[in-house]
Amino acid sequence: MPKAAPKARKSIAVAMFMLLAAIVVLFGRIAWVQFVEGSELAEKARTQLRDNKLLQSPRGTIYDRSGRELAISSLRKSLYVNPRELNKDPVAVATKLAPILDMQMETVRDRLMAGGSFVWLKRTLEPEAAQKVIDLAKAENIRGLDFIEESKRYYPNDSLAAQVLGFVGTDDVGLSGLEMALDKTIKGELVKQAVDTDSYGIPILGSSVMFKPVKQGKSVFLTIDSTIQFIVEQSLDKVMARTHAKSATVIIMNPHTGEILAMASRPGFDPNRFYRYGAGDWKNRAISAIYEPGSTFKAVVAAAALQEKAVGVNERFVDKGFIEVSGRRIKNWSGDSYGNVPLIDVIKNSINTAFVQIGLRLGAERLNSYARAFGFGQATDIELPGEEEGLLFNTKNMRASDVATMAIGQSIAVTPLQLVTAVAAIANEGVLLKPYIVKEIYNADGSLAAATPTQRVRQVISPDTAKLLSGLLEKVISEGGGKRAAVRGYRFAGKTGTAERLKESGGGYEAGRYIASFVGFGPVEDPQVAALVVIDDPVGDYYGGEIAAPVFGEIMNQVMRYLTIRPQNAAEFTVIPAPAHAAANTGQKPAAPAAKPGPGKVAVPSVLGRSIRDAGDIITGAGLVFVPSGSGVAVRQSVPPNGIVNLGAEVTVYFESR
């Protein structure tokens, strides 16, 4: 035994030495990894467990001219599934998810069973729906569902100016209207976002939800006035219901600047739910529909003839009720014969035979030259996609009968924007301006990036000719076929139009189908607005003076009040009583009786609990200017019910969804 002790001690010493050596080597290796290879290995780990994803920052806001929001963006959760991690029966999960996502159960099931590691279930959920998904996943212990933040576009005024604004697809790409035309300007940046992932490259621990946009797109201010736009759209809805027309269009512009104050078409759509509508509803007819202008084009013919002195203001024309040109008989729209008539009656009664004579005096060359000088036959290049150029004759190929039909607005095609721009030139002392709808563009930091100036195109006719023609066109409303376009207390000028409807397939006209229109401007002494109303294929009455002129008058009556343009004759400016049902069914406590309004005053009716359309009817019916804010039902108004205000005052009504 004593001899064995040294041997044992020797073995222990060897073991201790080896253990110590191992520890030294281990610490050496740790030191080497930590201090020599540490950075390289950490980078490899980060590369393997982190992915870079391109995420879209929000688009810039679109405002009207006064800073009211027309299109806004906000971040929303987009739901995806990792089918490899799904721990529940896909059919059972799909059955519960489908109603939350407002999707077919079969569609959700197929996506849950698609395989792979990443499948979108639904993009940009509303907050309520996202929370229901989160609650369901927690309650049922469902793994494999997660979210990524994405930008979603909202239109707070629903269908207001829908064809102008357009809409955005699920990948934040503008697909129509200004959203498409300005896509590169207002679209946010693609931001590279580091996302922690698992071994399959799927985001873990909700890291992708922490995305913070660093820079949104540029914001845009339009020339559109949302109040005037609302007035226009309200009138369009009424005329569509009244006439059962196929479509209708209204444009209002400032003749001194070229700014578009309102542009609307019907049928319309809600860009928040654009996928529920057809391409025909998305179409901006103000720039993309071409039609024969009919008698509204006679304002251009008269301008050319007066400027060229092809007619005298006191000249008289002999009308037999018809005229034959190159074997073609052209009759008056009314079928009447007016006999020996002065130029003023030719214009105010829109006598076809006399305009044919005027057109033949001008000849093909001059008639076409003035048409092009007024902007027909070419796009205006407004900042909207899909603008048509219209159709004019090739002068070299024109026969006398072509000159005759062109002189009465037939055998050519124009867009509504071209026509209102041309008539605005008459209102603007003969100067044609380029129409525009984008007023200013601002960078994300609030600095001005661009501003659109008023752009003079050319002097088409002299100021004297424009003034003379304005006086003649005023007679159309005060004494002629446009009487129903009259605006009480104001002097307006205008021209009616009724044209046969071209076949959509080309080659002739559709029997018994017409396009009614009215174009005008005012007040004549200092025109502030020019406007066009086009009603396509109405049922029943189809003359422009019968159905389009009243729409013009209704709109201008409200616009004059809104712009606070004082009437020349205040005595003619009467108040239309508010409807008797104005305070009914609101669910609100009735307001206390108001004192009787004095001269030029009006008691503001209650619109609480009402829809935007009903509130607009009630407020405007009381002789006031309606300014909507938000959507849903009315919850507050800037002037309390029964408050006494001046006739024509603004009343802002605030709406919220319920």
- Domain residue ranges of the chain, discontinuous segments joined by +: 53-222, 227-571, 575-656
Q: Do the Cβ atoms of 349 and 368 come closer than 8 Å? A: no
Q: What's the mean pLDDT in 249-266?
A: 98
Q: Is 520 helix (H, G, I), strand (E, B) or coil?
A: strand
Query: pLDDT tens, 559-582?
Result: 998 998 888 764 444 433 333 333
Query: pLDDT tens, 534-562?
Result: 999 999 999 999 999 999 999 999 999 89
Provide the pLDDT confidence category of residue 58 given band limits of 50, 70 and 90: confident
Residue 378: its pLDDT value, please?
A: 96
Provide the pLDDT confidence category of residue 42 given band limits of 50, 70 and 90: low
Q: Which helix (H) or strand (E) holds 133?
A: helix 127-140
What the block records as the tokens of 207 is 């890291």
Query: How far apart, in whole angstroms, are the C-alpha atoms of residue 86 and residue 77?
Result: 19
List the single range of 5-14, 135-144, 242-251 with lowest mean pLDDT: 5-14
Provide the pLDDT confidence category of residue 40 given band limits of 50, 70 and 90: low
Burial per residue of 387-407, b for 16 or more beta-carbon CB atoms within 10 angstroms, e otherwise:
beebebbebeebebbbbbbbb
φ and ψ of 45, to 5 deg: -65, -45
CB atoms within 10 A of CB 599: 6
Q: Which residues are catalytic?
A: 295
Residue 622 pLDDT > 60: yes
Could you tell me the pTM of the whole model?
A: 0.77
Residue 424 Cα distances to 69, 168, 260, 460, angstroms:
28, 33, 11, 11
Residue 195 pLDDT > 80: no
Query: How far apart, in whole angstroms, are the C-alpha atoms of residue 529 and residue 520?
Result: 9
User: Which amino acid would we find at residue 475?
Assistant: K
The third-level CATH classification (topology) of the domain covering 53-222 is Penicillin-binding protein 2a (Domain 2) (3.90.1310)
Provide the pLDDT confidence category of residue 3 given band limits of 50, 70 and 90: low
Alpha helices in 375-427 (DSSP H): 400-407, 416-427
Question: What percent of the chain clears pLDDT 70, i.e. is strictly above it?
Answer: 85
- CATH number belonging to domain 227-571: 3.40.710.10
The third-level CATH classification (topology) of the domain covering 575-656 is Trypsin Inhibitor V; Chain A (3.30.10)
Query: pLDDT tens, 470-489?
Result: 999 999 999 999 999 999 89
